[in-house]
């Protein structure tokens, strides 16, 4: 019999892509409530993986009424504190979801006459796959690598979010991965039987708060 922790671990691992890092044209943070995403961007910039940093995010479901500034501006401030020069950072501060992160970032880059062919996209761990699938659909000519703060599921929850809340969110994101390709929001992702079993077990166990 599967346990909640086992099922959550299966879903967590499915969301992670395990992409190898390679040099790119930009390091691109897709906004959220988690400033550790900005920390990961900073690590990658200091490693010399791209000359340009783009911070994307306005105020979304988890940050409206919680953040005093748009996500992108807080992310930029964090990166500057950690040694990323302000002049290498572009800010897109209007988007409220992943699709808008892509659309509005493209507009900002076009406005600056900056051409991008390869990007490292940085998100929360449980958003890696959904981010990849969205970018592939909305910006299919872009070569994209996706990464996130390098944390285990238990480390991610420590001091940031309860594991129960995280499972609700992960379940919702996985359900979106299943449903959103038919709506034209992202590319289809293969979901194996073990992952589907874990998803169904968690939904049956009451983790339904963030289902679409």
Residue 116: inside a domain, yes or no? yes
Cβ-contact 119, 28 below 8 angstroms: yes
pLDDT at residue number 63: 44
Q: Is residue 31 part of a domain?
A: yes
Angle between helices 4-15 and 128-138 in degrees, nearest 10: 30
Per-residue pLDDT of the chain (212 residues; tens, 9 = 90+): 899 999 999 999 999 999 999 999 999 999 877 889 999 999 999 999 999 999 999 875 544 445 568 889 999 999 999 999 999 999 999 998 899 999 999 999 999 999 999 999 999 999 999 999 999 999 999 999 999 999 999 999 987 789 999 999 999 999 999 999 999 999 999 999 999 999 999 999 999 999 98
Provide the domain count of the chain.
1
Q: Has residue 25 been placed in a domain?
A: yes
* Inside any domain, residue 212: no
Describe the chain by its helix, strand, coil percentages, rounded to 5.
Answer: 50, 10, 40
Which CATH number does the domain housing residue 58 bear?
Answer: 3.40.50.620
Task: Please indicate, yes or no, if residue 14 is contained in any of the structural domains.
Answer: yes
In a domain, 209, yes or no: no
Domain around 8: 4-204
Please report whether residue 102 resides in a domain: yes
Predicted TM-score (pTM) of this structure: 0.92
């Amino acid at each position: 019999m599967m346990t909640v922790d086992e099922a959550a671990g299966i879903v967590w691992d499915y969301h992670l892509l395990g992409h190898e890092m390679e040099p790119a044209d930009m390091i691109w943070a897709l906004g959220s409530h988690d400033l550790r995403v900005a920390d990961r961007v900073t690590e990658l910039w200091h490693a010399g993986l791209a000359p340009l940093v783009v911070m994307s995010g306005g105020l979304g479901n988890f940050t409206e009424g919680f953040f005093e500034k748009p996500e992108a501006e807080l992310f930029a401030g964090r990166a500057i504190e950690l040694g990323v020069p302000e002049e290498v950072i572009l800010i897109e501060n209007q988007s409220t979801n992943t699709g808008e992160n892509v659309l509005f970032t493209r507009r900002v880059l076009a406005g600056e006459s900056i051409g991008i062919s390869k990007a490292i996209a940085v998100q929360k761990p449980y958003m890696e796959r959904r981010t990849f699938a969205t970018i592939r659909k909305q910006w299919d000519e872009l070569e994209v690598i996706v990464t996130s703060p390098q944390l285990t599921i238990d480390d991610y929850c420590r001091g940031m979010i309860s594991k129960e809340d995280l499972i609700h969110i992960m379940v919702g994101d996985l359900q979106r991965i299943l449903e959103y390709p038919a709506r034209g929001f992202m590319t289809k992702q293969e979901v194996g039987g073990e992952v589907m079993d874990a998803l169904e077990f968690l939904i049956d166990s009451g983790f339904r708060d963030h289902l679409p």
